[in-house]
C-alpha cells in the first residue's frame, strides 16, 4: 500500500514539511477539505528542477532557492487526488483531499481484528477437511467470518484501488482489492445460488497482506529521539557576571557579550573566547578528539564541552541557535527529513503485473463465455480463479518476512539493522568512511614506546603524573602499574600549563614534558633521532629529565582497535574503498591509516564540515559512514547508510541506520554480508511469489482443461496460500545461511 502521510492539525491549520532532494519526501500527503493548509518545502538539492514549486490546480508557482524553505498556503476544496511538482514537472508528488477525518483504526488494530475473525475461518476449513462440518455450516460460517474482515481490512485497499483507478493507475492494492472483491461478491452470489463459495480466499488474502504490512510498519517505525538527546547535552545554567557579581542564570537568558565563569568539572554554557585563566577542556563529545585541549587567553571554547582543570572566564560569542551544538541539532533535523525511503520493488513490478492480470481475468471469462460457449457460471469460475491465483499474498510477505528474519539474525551477531532502507542502500555502497577516534581506535592514549631505562623512566614519570587527571598522565600511570613499578613520593609538585609537570623526587628535580619545557636542555643525538622518528609516527612524545640530565623519552598514541586491521582488509577485499574522516591532524590520521590499510584520509575536519565532506564523496557513489561520537551525528544522518558503534553516544546510535551492538569493527563486514544475503533472499522470495502466478495463471484460465488439468477457485486459493508458506520458509532459511 502506498504510504500517505497526513498533515498535522495545529491551531486550525494543516501543517506538513516536504524535503526536495532526489524526489519529494514525503511524496504523497493527505489534506482535509476546507481547512487552511501550510506546506513547507525545503530545497536541498542544487538541481534546477526544484527552483520552482508548482500547484497547478491552485494557481500557485513559487520560486525557491537552494537550502531555502518556502511555505505554500491554500485551502483545499476539491476532494480526490491532486498533483504538485517542480516547475518543470520532472519530479511530482500527490496530495489527496478528504473530508474532515474521523478517528480511524490503526494498522495494528485492523490486523488484530482481522486475526480474530481469521481464526474461525481456519477452524471451519479444518472442520471441512476432517468432515466434521457440513457444507451449509461452512458456507454461512465463512460468510459471517469474512464479512467483518472485508469491512475492516478490505476497506482501505478498495479505497486506494479506486483512487488509483480514477487516476488511470494500478498498484498492488488494485490486485488485493480486485481479488478479494471478486472472491467475496462471487461467493455472495454462489451462497444463494447453491454453488461452491470462496469467502475464505478473500479472508486469507487480507490476513496475509495485513501481516506483511504490520511487519513493514514494525521495521519502519524508528521514531528518532536524536534531537532531544542532543539538546539534553546542553548546560542548563551559566554563571554570568551581573552587577559586579557572578550569579547562576538559565541558559536561555545568556546574551552575546556576557562574561561567564566556569569551574573545573562544569560544562561550557555557550561558544565564546577565553579572557582569563588557563585550563584543559574535554571536547571529545563535539570534535571526537580524545585528548583534552589546552586553553588560555584568546582561545575559543565550545558550548556543552567539559572544563577539566582550571577556572576560566570567557566572553559569550554565540548563543542559542548560533552555537556549534545547536547547528549540529539543526543539521540532524534536516538530514533525517531528507532521507529517501526505500524503493518498493513490488510497486514497480505491479505497474505492469496488475493491469496484465486484470486483462487476463476478463479475457479468460470472455473466451470461455463468448468464444467457447460455456455457461456463465463456468466462465466466471475460470475468470475468478485467475484473479485469485494472482493475488499477491506471497508478494506482500516477500520483503517484510525476509527483513524480520534477517534483522533478527543480524542482531544475534551484534548487528542491529534499524530499517529496511539500509538493506537496499548497502547493496549500492562503494565507499566505507570511518571516523577515527573511538571508532578505528580505542579512544584513549597508551604508552607505546619507552626510550631509556624503562623501569626507571616509567617509575619517575608515573610518580609525577599520579596526581594528574590528564589522559596522558593516566596512560603513563596505567603502564607503570601494569609492569608492577613502585611509585615515589613527590614534593614541590607543580603543573606547568602547556609544558608539563615538575617535582622533587628523592631530593632531585624531575621534569616531564614537551620540548617547550626542556627548551634549554641539550638533547643527545641518539635521543633526537628517536624523537624525530616517533613524531613521524604521529606519536605524542614527552621528555624526562633528572637534575637537568635527559633520562628518557615516552611515546603515547591512541592505538587502533585489535580487530580494525582485519575489518579494513576484508572490506578492501570486497572491492570497497575505505576512507578515514577525522578532526585530528593529518600526521596522526595518516599514521593510523597506514597501520590499518585505509586507502584515503581526510583530516582536520571540523564537526560541522563532516557532513559536507560526506556530500562531496557521495558525488562519486553511495557510501556508508561509521562513527561513534556526537560530532558524527550529522554525517551518520546524511550518509546513504549510517553505521554507529554500540559503545558510542546515544545521539550517534539514534542517527544511524545500523548499530554495532558490540565494539567489534568486524560487525561492519557482517552488516554488509548479512544485508546482501537478506536482500538476495527478498529477490528469491519475489521469484517464488511470481512463479506460482506464471505457472498457475494459465492452468487457472483453463488453458490445459483439455488435458484434465483444471484449477478451480478453491484450488487457486490453496495454491495462493502455499505460495505464502513457501515464502515464509524461504525467509526462515536465512537463519541457517552461512555468514563470514
Q: What is the pLDDT of residue 434?
A: 92
At residue 253, does pLDDT exceed 80? yes
Mean pLDDT score across all residues of the chain: 79
Q: pTM for this one?
A: 0.56
Alpha carbons 619 and 628: distance in angstroms, whole number: 24
For residues 674-700, b (16+ Cβ closer than 10 Å) or e, as one string? bbebbbebbebbbebbbebbeebbbbb
Q: What is the pLDDT of residue 218?
A: 60
The proportion of the chain whose per-residue pLDDT surpasses 70, expressed as a percent, equals 82
pLDDT bucket at 339, cuts 50 / 70 / 90 = very low
Q: What is the pLDDT of residue 716?
A: 64
CB 601 within 8 A of CB 579: yes
Task: Convert the pLDDT of each residue in 47-70 to its tens digit.
Answer: 767 888 888 888 888 888 887 888
Q: Give the residue from 57, 138, 140 showing the smallest Cα distance to 96.
A: 57
C-beta contacts of 122-125 below 8 A and 24+ residues apart: 124/200, 125/200
Q: Give the residue from 727, 723, 703 showing the smallest Cα distance to 715.
A: 723
CB 659 within 8 A of CB 418: yes
Q: What is the pLDDT of residue 342?
A: 38
Q: What is the pLDDT of residue 469?
A: 61
CB 269 within 8 A of CB 237: yes
Q: What is the pLDDT of residue 341?
A: 38
Q: Which of 75-89, 615-629, 706-720 is the least confident region?
A: 706-720
pLDDT bucket at 101, cuts 50 / 70 / 90 = low
Task: Convert the pLDDT of each residue in 118-145 to its tens digit.
Answer: 898 888 878 877 777 887 888 888 899 9
Q: What is the pLDDT of residue 220?
A: 44
Q: Which has the higher per-residue pLDDT, 484 or 693? A: 484
The pLDDT of 458-471, averaged and rounded, is 80
3-state class (DSSP) for residue 730? helix
Alpha carbons 45 and 515: distance in angstroms, whole number: 49
Q: Give the residue from 280, 286, 285 showing the smallest Cα distance to 264.
A: 280
At residue 334, does pLDDT exceed 60? no
Strand locations in 358-507 (E): 415-417, 429-434, 441-452, 491-496, 500-505
Query: Residue length, the chain?
Result: 740
DSSP letter assigned to residue 492: E
pLDDT bucket at 258, cuts 50 / 70 / 90 = very high
Alpha carbons 64 and 32: distance in angstroms, whole number: 25
Q: Which of 435, 466, 632, 640 is catalytic?
A: 435
Alpha carbons 178 and 566: distance in angstroms, whole number: 54
Q: What is the pLDDT of residue 467?
A: 67
At residue 273, does pLDDT exceed 50? yes
Alpha carbons 591 and 604: distance in angstroms, whole number: 14
The pLDDT of 79-87, averaged and rounded, is 85
The proportion of the chain whose per-residue pLDDT surpasses 90, expressed as a percent, equals 10
Q: What is the pLDDT of residue 360?
A: 86
pLDDT bucket at 291, cuts 50 / 70 / 90 = low
Alpha carbons 711 and 386: distance in angstroms, whole number: 9
3-state class (DSSP) for residue 151? helix
Alpha carbons 74 and 13: distance in angstroms, whole number: 10
Cα dihedral 155, 160, 163, 164, rounded to 10, equals: -140
Which among 57-61, 90-94, 297-301, 396-400 has the top mean pLDDT?
Answer: 297-301
At residue 305, does pLDDT exceed 70? yes
Task: Convert the pLDDT of each residue in 662-694 to its tens digit.
Answer: 677 888 888 888 888 888 888 888 887 777 777
CB 284 within 8 A of CB 263: no
Task: Convert the pLDDT of each residue in 485-519 to its tens digit.
Answer: 888 888 888 877 667 888 898 889 888 887 777 66
SS (H, E, C) 569-608: HHHHHCCCEEEEECCCCHHHHHHHHHHHCCCEEECCCCHH
Alpha carbons 445 and 584: distance in angstroms, whole number: 14
Give phi and psi for 190, each to the nearest 5.
-65, -30
Q: What is the pLDDT of residue 117?
A: 92
Give phi and psi for 59, each to the nearest 5.
70, 35
Task: Convert the pLDDT of each residue in 199-239 to its tens digit.
Answer: 887 888 788 777 766 765 564 443 344 445 556 667 888 99
Look up 258 and say whether it is catalytic.
Answer: no
Strand-pairing partners, residue 513, are 500, 543
Peptide bond into 160 cis (omega under 30): no
Amino acid at each position: 500500500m502506498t504510504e500517505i502521510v497526513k498533515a498535522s492539525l495545529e491551531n486550525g491549520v494543516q501543517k506538513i514539511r516536504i524535503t526536495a532532494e532526489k524526489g519529494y519526501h514525503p511524496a504523497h500527503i493527505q489534506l482535509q477539505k476546507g481547512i487552511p493548509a501550510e506546506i513547507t518545502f525545503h530545497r536541498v538539492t542544487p538541481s534546477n528542477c526544484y527552483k520552482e514549486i508548482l500547484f497547478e490546480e491552485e494557481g500557485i508557482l513559487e520560486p525557491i532557492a537552494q537550502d531555502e524553505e518556502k511555505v505554500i498556503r491554500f485551502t483545499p476544496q476539491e476532494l480526490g487526488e491532486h498533483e504538485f511538482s517542480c516547475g518543470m514537472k520532472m519530479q511530482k508528488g500527490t496530495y489527496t483531499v478528504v473530508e474532515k477525518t474521523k478517528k480511524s483504526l490503526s494498522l495494528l488494530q485492523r490486523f488484530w481484528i482481522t486475526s480474530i475473525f481469521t481464526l474461525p475461518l481456519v477452524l471451519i476449513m479444518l472442520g471441512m477437511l476432517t468432515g466434521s462440518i457440513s457444507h451449509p455450516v461452512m458456507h454461512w460460517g465463512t460468510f459471517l467470518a469474512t464479512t467483518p474482515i472485508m469491512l475492516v481490512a478490505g476497506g482501505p485497499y478498495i479505497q486506494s484501488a479506486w483512487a488509483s483507478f480514477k487516476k488511470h493507475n494500478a498498484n498492488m492494492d488494485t490486485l488485493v482489492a480486485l481479488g478479494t472483491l471478486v472472491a467475496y461478491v462471487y461467493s455472495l452470489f454462489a451462497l444463494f445460488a447453491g454453488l461452491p463459495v470462496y469467502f475464505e480466499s478473500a479472508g486469507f488474502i487480507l490476513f496475509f497482506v495485513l501481516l506483511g504490512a504490520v511487519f513493514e510498519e514494525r521495521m519502519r517505525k524508528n521514531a528518532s529521539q536524536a534531537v532531544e538527546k542532543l539538546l539534553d547535552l546542553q548546560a542548563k545554567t551559566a554563571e554570568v557576571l551581573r552587577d559586579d557579581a557572578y550569579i547562576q542564570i538559565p541558559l536561555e537568558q545568556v546574551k552575546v557579550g556576557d562574561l561567564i565563569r566556569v569551574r573545573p568539572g562544569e560544562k561550557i554554557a555557550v561558544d565564546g573566547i577565553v579572557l582569563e585563566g588557563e585550563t584543559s577542556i574535554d571536547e571529545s563529545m563535539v570534535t571526537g578528539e580524545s585528548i583534552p585541549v589546552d586553553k588560555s587567553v584568546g582561545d575559543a571554547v565550545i558550548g556543552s564541552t567539559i572544563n577539566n582543570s582550571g577556572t576560566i572566564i570567557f566572553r559569550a560569542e554565540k548563543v542559542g541557535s548560533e552555537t556549534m551544538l545547536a547547528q549540529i541539532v539543526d543539521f540532524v533535523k534536516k538530514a533525517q527529513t531528507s532521507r529517501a525511503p526505500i524503493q518498493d520493488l513490488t510497486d514497480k513490478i505491479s505497474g505492469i503485473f496488475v493491469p496484465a492480470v486484470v486483462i487476463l481475468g476478463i479475457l479468460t471469462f470472455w473466451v470461455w463465455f463468448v468464444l467457447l460457449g460455456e455457461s456463465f457460471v463456468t466462465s466466471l469460475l475460470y475468470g475468478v480463479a485467475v484473479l485469485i491465483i494472482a493475488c499477491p499474498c506471497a508478494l506482500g510477505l516477500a520483503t517484510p518476512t525476509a527483513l524480520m528474519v534477517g534483522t533478527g539474525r543480524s542482531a544475534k551477531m551484534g548487528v542491529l539493522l534499524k530499517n529496511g532502507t539500509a538493506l537496499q542502500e548497502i547493496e549500492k555502497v562503494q565507499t566505507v568512511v570511518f571516523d577515527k577516534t573511538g571508532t578505528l581506535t580505542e579512544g584513549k592514549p597508551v604508552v607505546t614506546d619507552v626510550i631509556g631505562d624503562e623501569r626507571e623512566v616509567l617509575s619517575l614519570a608515573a610518580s609525577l603524573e599520579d596526581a594528574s587527571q590528564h589522559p596522558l598522565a593516566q596512560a603513563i600511570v596505567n603502564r607503570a602499574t601494569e609492569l608492577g613499578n613502585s611509585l615515589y613520593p613527590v614534593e614541590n609538585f607543580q603543573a606547568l600549563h602547556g609544558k608539563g609537570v615538575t617535582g622533587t623526587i628523592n631530593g632531585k628535580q624531575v621534569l616531564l614534558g614537551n620540548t617547550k619545557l626542556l627548551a634549554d636542555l641539550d638533547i643527545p643525538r641518539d635521543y633526537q633521532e628517536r624523537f624525530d622518528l616517533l613524531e613521524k609516527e604521529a606519536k605524542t612524545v614527552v621528555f624526562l629529565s633528572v637534575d637537568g640530565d635527559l633520562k628518557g623519552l615516552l611515546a603515547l598514541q591512541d592505538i587502533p582497535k585489535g580487530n580494525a586491521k582485519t575489518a579494513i582488509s576484508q572490506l578492501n577485499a570486497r572491492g570497497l574503498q575505505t576512507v578515514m574522516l577525522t578532526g585530528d591532524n593529518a600526521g596522526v590520521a595518516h599514521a593510523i591509516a597506514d597501520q590499518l590499510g585505509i586507502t584515503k584520509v581526510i583530516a582536520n575536519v571540523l564537526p560541522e564540515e563532516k557532513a559536507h565532506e560526506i556530500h562531496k564523496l557521495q558525488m562519486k557513489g553511495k557510501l556508508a559512514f561509521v562513527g561513534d561520537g556526537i560530532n558524527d551525528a550529522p554525517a551518520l544522518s546524511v550518509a546513504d547508510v549510517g553505521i554507529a558503534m554500540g559503545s558510542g553516544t546515544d545521539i550517534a546510535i539514534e542517527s544511524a541506520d545500523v548499530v554495532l551492538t558490540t565494539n567489534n569493527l568486524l560487525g561492519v563486514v557482517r552488516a554488509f554480508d548479512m544485508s546482501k544475503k537478506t536482500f538476495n533472499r527478498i529477490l528469491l522470495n519475489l521469484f517464488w511469489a511470481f512463479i506460482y502466478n506464471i505457472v498457475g495463471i494459465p492452468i487457472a484460465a483453463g488453458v490445459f482443461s483439455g488435458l484434465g488439468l483444471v484449477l478451480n477457485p478453491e484450488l487457486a486459493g490453496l495454491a495462493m496460500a502455499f505460495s505464502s508458506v513457501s515464502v515464509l520458509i524461504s525467509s526462515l532459511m536465512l537463519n541457517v545461511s552461512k555468514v563470514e
